[in-house]
Amino acid sequence: MRVRLGRVRACVTLPVLLVAGALIGWGAASTLARGSNPPRGKAEYDLYCAACHGPEGRGDEPSAASLPIKPWNLTDGGLMNPLPDEFIHLTIAKSGAAVGLSPLMPAFAAYLSDAQIGDLVAYIRTLAVPARARGETAIGPIYPPNAPVQPILFSHVVHAGAYRINGQYCHSDARRSQYAGLPSVERCMGCHKIVAAEGNPQVKRLRGYWERKEPIPWVRIFKVPEFVYFPHKPHIRADVPCQTCHGAIQTYNQIPAVRGPNLVNDAKNLVGVPARPPQLSMGWCIECHREQNRTRGTKAPLDCVSCHH
C-alpha cells in the first residue's frame, strides 16, 4: 500500500520536485524563509567541499588521503571555534595560502559569491562539536593595517588559537627573565620536520632558514626605549595575562604594532585633560601599577628608579 502510494506520488510529483529544487538552488534566502531543509550553505558545501572534507566535515575522505596536508576536521570544535569568521572566509575565497596555510585548500572566489561564502562559514559553524559560544573570537581584523609584514606568514590564529600552543612554549623566557624571547628555528622545526613538512610554501621558507642555519629576521613589534627597564618575569609571576598587554594575539595573523610615545596624549595629560594612556607609554605602565596595587594588593613600583635604572 505504502510503496504503491509512494510510486504514484513519485510519478506525479517528479517535475514539481525538479522545479522546487531549482528554486532552492536559486535563493537560499527563500529556503530559510520557508524554514525548510537544507540549511543555508549546505548545497555549496556538498558541491564544493565534501569531496575533500567529507560529507560530514570530518576531513577523512579517501580522496584526500594522498594529500601531504590533510583537510581540517571541521567537526572538531576545539580546533575550529577559535578561528575568526574572517579567517575562514578569506581561506575559502582566496585559498589556504591567504592565511599562511596550504594552497591545497583551493580558492573559491571564482565560483562562489561573498554571500555564498558567508553562508558556508555559517554552515561550517554548525558542524563543530562542541558548538562555538556566541561572540567567541570576534576580534579582528586578522591583518590589522598597522602590523608589519614578517618574513614568514606565521599565524597566531593557527598556533595560539586553533592549536592552543601555550604562548610560553614559544616565548619560554617570559617567566624567568626580562625578555619574553623568540623561539629558535630549531624550536619551530621541532614540530615542522613532521607537521606540514610538505605542501605548504610558508613552512618551506621556514625549512630554508633552518637548512641555511640562519635566524629568522622577525620584525620587532613591542619595544620600549633603552632607558626603560621592563622585566617580563614579575608580570608573568603576578598572573598578568599576555593578552592584557599585547592584545588578543591569538586572533591575529599579523600582530599590530602599538608604540609610544604619543605626544598628543602626553600634552593632554599635562594640561589636565584625562586621556587614556596609549600602550607602552609611561602613563600606561603607571596607570596599571596603581590599579593593580589598589585592586589586587600587588607591589608594582611607582618610583622612577624601578623603571629607569
Residue 43: DSSP 8-state: H
Write down the least CB distance from residue 9 to ligand HEC, Å: 34
Whichever of 24 and 221 has its CB closer to ligand HEC, that residue is 221
Q: How far lies 50's CA from each of 8, 23, 163, in Å?
A: 33, 22, 23
Provide the sign of the torsion angle of the four alpha carbons 33, 39, 45, 46, taken in this order.
negative
The one-letter code for the residue type at 80 is M
Whichever of 31 and 262 has its CB closer to ligand HEC, that residue is 262
Whichever of 99 and 147 has its CB closer to ligand HEC, that residue is 99
CA neighbours within 13 Å on the CB side: how many for 108?
21
Whichever of 33 and 270 has its CB closer to ligand HEC, that residue is 270
| Orientation angle between helical segments 282-296 and 263-270, nearest 10 degrees | 60
- Please, which residues bridge with residue 76 across strands? 129
CA distance 22 to 17: 9
Sequence-ordered list of residues with C-beta below 8 angstroms from that of 174, at least 6 positions apart, any chain: 167, 168, 180, 181, 232, 233, 236, 242
Phi-psi region of 240 (alpha: psi -120 to 50; beta: other; left: phi over 0): beta
Whichever of 31 and 285 has its CB closer to ligand HEC, that residue is 285
Whichever of 72 and 252 has its CB closer to ligand HEC, that residue is 72
> Cell numbers of 92, please?
575559502
CA distance 39 to 55: 14
Write down the least CB distance from residue 133 to ligand HEC, Å: 18
Q: Which helix (H) or strand (E) holds 290?
A: helix 282-296
Whichever of 31 and 96 has its CB closer to ligand HEC, that residue is 96
Sequence-ordered list of residues with C-beta below 8 angstroms from that of 36, at least 6 positions apart, any chain: none
CB atoms within 10 A of CB 270: 8
Whichever of 13 and 177 has its CB closer to ligand HEC, that residue is 177
Are the C-beta atoms of 80 and 74 separated by less than 8 Å?
Answer: yes
